[in-house]
């Protein structure tokens, strides 16, 4: 079923040569003692766990899926999942970037992010269990009461308990303002919560002793819409004050969703019938608290798609080097064999390079954002924290939407490399395509991310955050302007930066007349900005590679070739996208609904 080798050199290049994380972390007292040796050691051990423990369970977990006992409401995960999770917590992986006050190791988020890339390459369905738990930890750490933190955080940090986010209901997906789950206050300060939630990843399973559900619900008399939503902690087992497990709570799995992919994760319909819960944060401010979880999840979903892109590329590359089909158009490249390996064919190389470029661009981009989160949380300079927070806010929807869109493209292309063998389950490639498809949907569909980027993150502040990123681009272009070898990268980068600024202004002016212009422009606009971000990082990576070409290390030659491919064959998509944006809302809205 193929293989997965952790791309340690690629990750180390991004962290140590592109982002200079050691020097960046030295500026943060919390992380000042973290050096390259510590980072590399963690990555090596993490890569070993991903490739040796998790990857062998990926295909079998997909085939077996999860099983619900309708009498007990218990869910059994695929064979080996529970044992792998035990190894995971015994090695201390859940605590990697958590607060030492609750048993964490206090390592930087940028390192935890790279670790999760490897987990997702090896087995996305499995990685979702601890990934959601980390989001629950972040939410409780930010908004929990001292007592909630004391009781629950050590269990999440150790991995002994896991967590979920319970948002969606059958009649409302993204529009959470429509949710109907009710929370009735009790005399002892708790709440009785009744309702139904769907699409709850890791909602019920046998991997941990307890599951902490973070549930959105309405208080009596709450305002309508999203302004009347509160957040509640609803444990599967109600813990005693000493942390031991008490009574079983009235939140159960009613069914497991039959899904296209991620079969190894138990995506549950959860039923609450006077389940006991406790409020997190302020009444009617539940979405504010949950956004901590949701933003962590959006970064996590980006990493899921980066992971799938990487593992699909690795296996397609191996296949392309081994599979013999036809002869090269320019003459036989393997005359001693009956046909040439398909990697000699230009279009096979296009497919492989597309996946390779989308993986490398996503790795640089997501690592940069993770480092900005570290700065936002830990840097001693308030101005640095503010700028980092703005970058995270601006780039999070692009992480979620652009990386997941590109993974759908990349995994499909990698399946195509296999030809008919890619379409059958034996190769393992069709699973990556199926698993990649959900990433464009959950944690806010990519259209919602596009609306968030354009409407909320850019137009709402008149482009202030976007101009901060543009300043990074302009500074890099200026510092590279005297380097003739960089012209092929900085010229199109500067051109796209200028076009994005003009395009943003055009959309803003149209939106004053008709707000539907934002909805019509949002999706292609996000891809344009996504390409601007990738072009910036590929140009920076190309500069490093150019400086190292004489070193004799072929890694830099490959890095430069990938950057050139990106600028030549992928970046030009922006021309079409810009034309789509400028076409406006009219072609979409002219046809009356009844004529569809």
Positions marked active-site: 443
DSSP states of 485-511 as a string? Answer: GGHHHHHHHHHHHHHHHHHHHHHHHHH
CA distance 19 to 239: 43
- Helix residue ranges per DSSP H, 330-463: 346-378, 382-417, 420-423, 429-438, 446-451
Give strand ranges (E) for 69-107.
Answer: 75-76
Which tokens hold the place of 80? 């080996």
- How far is the C-alpha of 215 from the C-alpha of 192, rounded, in Å? 12
Please write down the long-range contacts of 481-488, taking CB distance under 8 Å and 24 or more positions apart.
Answer: 483/543, 485/546, 486/539, 486/542, 486/543, 486/546, 488/564, 488/567
3-state secondary structure (DSSP) of residue 68: strand
Closest CA to 580 of 520, 539, 529: 520
Least Cα distance to 85 among 201, 205, 208, 200 occurs for: 208
Classify residue 236 by its DSSP letter: S
CA distance 58 to 123: 5
What's 341's DSSP letter? B
Distances (CA, A) of 561 to 354, 414, 538, 567: 12, 19, 11, 10
Sequence-distant (≥ 6) Cβ neighbours of residue 434 within 8 angstroms: 260, 261, 262
The two structure tokens encoding residue 280: 């997190």
């Amino acid at each position: 079923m193929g293989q997965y080798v952790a791309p340690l050199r690629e990750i180390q290049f991004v962290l140590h040569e592109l982002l200079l994380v050691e020097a960046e972390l030295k500026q943060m007292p919390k992380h000042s003692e973290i050096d390259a040796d510590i980072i590399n050691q963690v990555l090596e051990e993490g890569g070993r766990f991903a490739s040796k423990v998790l990857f062998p369970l990926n295909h079998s977990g997909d085939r077996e899926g999860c099983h619900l006992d309708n009498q007990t409401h218990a869910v059994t995960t695929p064979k080996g999942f529970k044992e792998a999770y035990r190894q995971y917590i015994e090695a201390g992986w859940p605590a990697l970037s958590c607060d030492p006050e609750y048993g964490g190791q206090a390592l930087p988020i940028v390192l935890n992010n790279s670790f999760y890339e490897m987990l997702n390459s090896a087995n996305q369905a499995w990685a979702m269990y601890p990934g959601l738990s980390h989001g629950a930890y972040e939410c409780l750490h930010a908004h929990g009461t001292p007592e909630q933190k004391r009781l629950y955080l050590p269990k999440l940090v150790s991995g002994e308990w896991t967590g979920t986010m319970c948002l969606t209901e059958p009649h409302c997906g993204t529009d959470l303002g429509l949710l109907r789950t009710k929370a009735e206050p009790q005399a002892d300060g708790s709440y009785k919560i009744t309702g139904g939630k769907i699409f709850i990843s890791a909602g019920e399973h046998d991997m941990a002793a307890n599951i902490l559900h973070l549930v959105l619900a309405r208080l009596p008399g709450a305002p309508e819409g999203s302004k009347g939503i509160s957040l509640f902690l609803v444990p599967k087992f109600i813990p005693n004050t000493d942390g031991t497990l008490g009574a079983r709570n009235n939140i159960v799995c009613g069914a497991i969703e039959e899904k296209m992919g991620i079969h190894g994760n138990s995506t549950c319909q959860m039923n609450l019938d006077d389940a006991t819960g406790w409020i997190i944060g302020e009444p009617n401010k539940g979405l504010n608290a949950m956004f901590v979880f949701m933003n962590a999840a959006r970064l996590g979903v980006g990493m899921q798609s980066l992971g799938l892109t990487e593992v699909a590329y690795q296996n397609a590359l191996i296949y392309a080097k081994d599979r013999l089909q036809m002869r090269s158009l320019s003459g036989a490249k393997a005359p001693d064999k009956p046909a040439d390996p398909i990697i000699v064919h230009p279009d096979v190389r296009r497919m492989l390079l597309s996946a390779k470029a989308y993986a490398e661009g996503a790795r640089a981009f997501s690592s940069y954002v993770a480092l900005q989160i570290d700065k936002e949380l830990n840097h001693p300079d308030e101005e640095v924290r503010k700028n980092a927070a703005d970058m995270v806010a601006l780039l999070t929807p692009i992480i979620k939407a652009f990386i997941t869109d590109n993974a759908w493209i990349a995994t499909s292309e990698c399946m195509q490399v296999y030809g008919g063998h890619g379409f059958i389950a034996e190769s393992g490639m069709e699973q990556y395509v199926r698993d990649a498809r959900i990433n464009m949907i959950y944690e806010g569909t990519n259209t919602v991310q596009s609306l968030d980027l354009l409407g909320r993150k850019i137009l709402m502040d008149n482009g202030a955050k976007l101009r901060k990123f543009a300043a990074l681009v302009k500074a890099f272009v200026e510092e590279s302007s005297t380097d003739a070898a960089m012209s092929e990268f900085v010229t199109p980068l500067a051109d796209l930066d200028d076009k994005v600024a003009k395009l943003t202004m055009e959309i803003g002016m149209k939106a004053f007349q008709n707000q539907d212009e934002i909805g019509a422009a949002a999706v292609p606009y996000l891809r344009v900005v996504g390409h601007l971000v990738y072009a910036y990082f590929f140009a920076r990576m190309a500069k490093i590679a150019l400086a190292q070409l004489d070193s004799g290390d072929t890694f830099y030659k490959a890095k430069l070739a990938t950057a050139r491919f990106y600028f030549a064959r992928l970046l030009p998509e922006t021309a079409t996208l810009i034309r789509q944006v400028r076409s406006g809302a009219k072609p979409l809205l002219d046809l009356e609904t009844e004529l569809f």
